[in-house]
Chains A and B, each alone.
Chain A
């Protein structure tokens, strides 16, 4: 994959998310600007209550801002209807969640096939792709297992395979190792890193500064709903 390093995939421009809770206005995110370039490994770092989760929902276009603009691949998503947003989200962003969020009634393979169903991919192609992706995460012998028959690490790898189903431009991982022990967590992160090395843009939300600094090129440090600082480093410095 040829990288166009300066292409901006996701851009948040002075984005605010305010909730009305009774009399009080809660400013979960209060003027955040984030730029994610193609091929980047970006971390959004912050303790709980820093607006990290809300930012991740906004970056992932699961949520719309009360102020500001969000561009996904050059398109202002605040103008899209909820259903169009879902369509765009399904195509351009692959989600990985802390608690894996697999559908319990479906096998590993079927879970990977689901996002393609919403994009109208035909069944045969879905099956082939799902098998290929599960091979990639080294779960070829667990394809027909249900999530409750898989270990935490295996489930998260299924989730990684699922996130790749529609060849999204961005992988958005929300505390992907939060429910895993250190060792399996490292395996999962290794997959993410490998994906990034192959040119996939990865955004990781985490509360762990070591993890953020170890893997990411750009770290947005959030505090009280605003970006406290941004640390960058060149790709050559990154731990291989």
Chain B
């Protein structure tokens, strides 16, 4: 009997006009939003994460200022100094500290000037530490080494001409940084982070000569003695800095972040986006449900005569109810299917875009259970919306209904 309802419902839906399909827009948009967002979720997470330099999985970074989403070192609170760095280095839970300064400056090549960030590279152990932690490799040439003077290593976008210069930079080219001539000795492979793909790496001595930042430190990168004790180390550093900078707990003018807390930040942003999309989706779906109620009510009125005929030739009230109920459910399901298809396509497309922009190899998260439940949900929603119209249809008096 139920397959008969489905068969009948399909026949009726097939003969429906554009108007009925338009009422599905709500459900369509809702399901599209949910499915595309979830399948994009992985991509978004990696994309946002990479902009924070999350590849440094075991490092704690310390910087002045509160939480900020600008480039590291751009905050305006009292800077950290070499004294701070040394003090942190003396903590028993800390294995190694290294100084990072990021300076914004200008670079000229081929008569074009661009602005960007340069990062300093320390000599000796700290150089190895930085290279290891960032996991950087060159696509061409070599990395900086101790004793290099007036030599520079540039990020991938200089190699691929993605920074706004008119010409690709190659090993051996000369560039002007803050007006000083430097020789390019290496170009980095793609990192998938706009900071590192646009980076200008200079040895500490050259950086100091160009920017004269003296004693100040933008970021102190800390390697804990025990990598399982990130939180404990973080607390030690916070306690030390509160004393040194004379601030109360909860009023810190510095930020000590572990990879986890950075990840939390990323997830916070992502969750914000998710909540927003969820609200949009809920509203769309609600509108969709109202649309279905509307179109089904109209349909019951238009097909009064048909209801009368059905009753005359032996349809019980529940036969009529189920026919309209199933039809409404299917209407909802159609919206869901369209949304799931379009949402999945958007997820793939979006991931593709993210991959091509930041050079990652993220796969869209296609969750079959999500699709299944979305479809089930839209089917049930359609049914729910159809209950009242279907009851109205079932209660029609056969004699009245036959008059049309």
Binding site for B on A (CB under 8 A): 57, 60, 62-63, 82-83, 86-87, 89-91, 94-95, 97, 101-106, 110, 114-115, 117-120, 123, 162, 165-166
B392 nearest CB across to chain A (Å): 15
User: Once the chains bind, are B317 and A90 in contact (CB under 8 Å)?
Assistant: no
Closest to A53 in B: B399
A172 nearest CB across to chain B (Å): 9
User: Once the chains bind, are B315 and A62 in contact (CB under 8 Å)?
Assistant: no
27 contacts between A and B (CB under 8 A): A62-B311, A62-B398, A62-B402, A63-B398, A63-B399, A82-B317, A83-B317, A86-B311, A86-B317, A89-B312, A90-B315, A95-B313, A97-B402, A101-B305, A101-B312, A102-B309, A103-B309, A103-B310, A105-B14, A106-B8, A114-B310, A115-B313, A118-B313, A118-B314, A118-B315, A118-B319, A123-B4
User: Which one of B15, B308, B313 contacts A114 once the chains associate, using CB atoms below 8 Å?
Assistant: B313
Q: A83-B318, A89-B312, A101-B305 are in contact. List 20 more A-B contacts (CB 8 A).
A: A62-B311, A63-B399, A82-B316, A82-B317, A83-B316, A86-B398, A87-B316, A91-B314, A101-B309, A101-B312, A103-B310, A104-B306, A105-B14, A105-B15, A106-B11, A114-B313, A118-B310, A118-B313, A118-B314, A118-B319
User: Once the chains bind, are B312 and A62 in contact (CB under 8 Å)?
Assistant: yes
Chain A residues, CB < 8 A from B367: none
Report the number of A-B residue pairs with Cβ-Cβ less than 8 Å. 71
Q: How far is the CA of A119 from the CA of B314 in the complex (A)?
A: 8
B269 nearest CB across to chain A (Å): 51
User: Once the chains bind, are B402 and A101 in contact (CB under 8 Å)?
Assistant: yes
Q: Can you list the 5 inter-chain pairs with the closest CB atoms, starting with the nearest?
A: A90-B314, A83-B316, A118-B314, A115-B313, A105-B15
User: Which one of A105, A123, A162 contacts B12 once the chains associate, using CB atoms below 8 Å?
Assistant: A105
Chain A residues, CB < 8 A from B314: 86-87, 89-91, 115, 118-119, 166
Chain B residues, CB < 8 A from A87: 314, 316
B347 nearest CB across to chain A (Å): 36
Closest to A100 in B: B309
User: Which one of A86, A91, A105, A162 contacts B315 once the chains associate, using CB atoms below 8 Å?
Assistant: A86
Residue among A63, A95, A118 facing the most chain B CB atoms (10 A cut-off):
A118
**Is B18 part of the contact surface with A, judged by Cβ < 8 Å?**
no
Chain A residues, CB < 8 A from B398: 62-63, 86
Chain B residues, CB < 8 A from A57: 399
**Is B1 part of the contact surface with A, judged by Cβ < 8 Å?**
yes
User: Once the chains bind, are A118 and B309 in contact (CB under 8 Å)?
Assistant: no
B interface: dominant SS: helix
Closest to A63 in B: B399
Chain B residues, CB < 8 A from A95: 312-313
Q: How far is the CA of A106 from the CA of B15 in the complex (A)?
A: 10
B68 nearest CB across to chain A (Å): 63
Chain B residues, CB < 8 A from A91: 314
Chain B residues, CB < 8 A from A104: 15, 306
Q: How far is the CA of A97 from the CA of B309 in the complex (A)?
A: 9
A82 nearest CB across to chain B (Å): 6
B326 nearest CB across to chain A (Å): 13
Chain B residues, CB < 8 A from A101: 305, 308-309, 312, 402
B43 nearest CB across to chain A (Å): 44
Chain B residues, CB < 8 A from A114: 310, 313
Contact digits for B287-315, partner A, Cβ 8 Å, 1 yes 0 no: 00000000000000000011011111111
Contact digits for B1-35, partner A, Cβ 8 Å, 1 yes 0 no: 10010001001101100000000000000000000
A141 nearest CB across to chain B (Å): 22
User: Once the chains bind, are A118 and B12 in contact (CB under 8 Å)?
Assistant: no
User: Once the chains bind, are A62 and B317 in contact (CB under 8 Å)?
Assistant: no
Q: How far is the CA of A62 from the CA of B8 in the complex (A)?
A: 23
Chain A residues, CB < 8 A from B402: 62, 97, 101
B136 nearest CB across to chain A (Å): 67
Q: How far is the CA of A229 from the CA of B284 in the complex (A)?
A: 66
Chain B residues, CB < 8 A from A123: 4
A51 nearest CB across to chain B (Å): 14
Given contacts A101-B309, A120-B1, contact A86 B316 (CB under 8 A): yes
Given contacts A62-B398, A63-B399, A86-B311, contact A118 B316 (CB under 8 A): yes
Residue among A97, A103, A119 facing the most chain B CB atoms (10 A cut-off):
A103
Q: How far is the CA of A159 from the CA of B15 in the complex (A)?
A: 21
Chain A residues, CB < 8 A from B399: 57, 62-63
Chain B residues, CB < 8 A from A89: 312-314
Residue among A62, A63, A165 facing the most chain B CB atoms (10 A cut-off):
A62
Q: How far is the CA of A63 from the CA of B398 in the complex (A)?
A: 8
Q: How far is the CA of A94 from the CA of B314 in the complex (A)?
A: 9
A79 nearest CB across to chain B (Å): 17
Given contacts A62-B398, A117-B4, A120-B1, contact A103 B306 (CB under 8 A): yes
Q: How far is the CA of A194 from the CA of B45 in the complex (A)?
A: 78
Q: How far is the CA of A63 from the CA of B311 in the complex (A)?
A: 11
Residue among B1, B11, B313 facing the most chain A CB atoms (10 A cut-off):
B313
Q: How far is the CA of A97 from the CA of B310 in the complex (A)?
A: 13
Q: How far is the CA of A62 from the CA of B313 in the complex (A)?
A: 10
Closest to A110 in B: B11
Q: How far is the CA of A115 from the CA of B314 in the complex (A)?
A: 6
Chain A residues, CB < 8 A from B317: 82-83, 86
Residue among A60, A89, A102, A110 facing the most chain B CB atoms (10 A cut-off):
A89
Q: How far is the CA of A62 from the CA of B315 in the complex (A)?
A: 11
Q: How far is the CA of A101 from the CA of B403 in the complex (A)?
A: 11
Q: How far is the CA of A95 from the CA of B312 in the complex (A)?
A: 7
Q: How far is the CA of A63 from the CA of B402 in the complex (A)?
A: 12
Q: How far is the CA of A77 from the CA of B367 in the complex (A)?
A: 56
Q: How far is the CA of A120 from the CA of B4 in the complex (A)?
A: 10
Q: How far is the CA of A140 from the CA of B295 in the complex (A)?
A: 37
Closest to B308 in A: A101
Q: How far is the CA of A32 from the CA of B311 in the complex (A)?
A: 25
Chain B residues, CB < 8 A from A82: 316-317
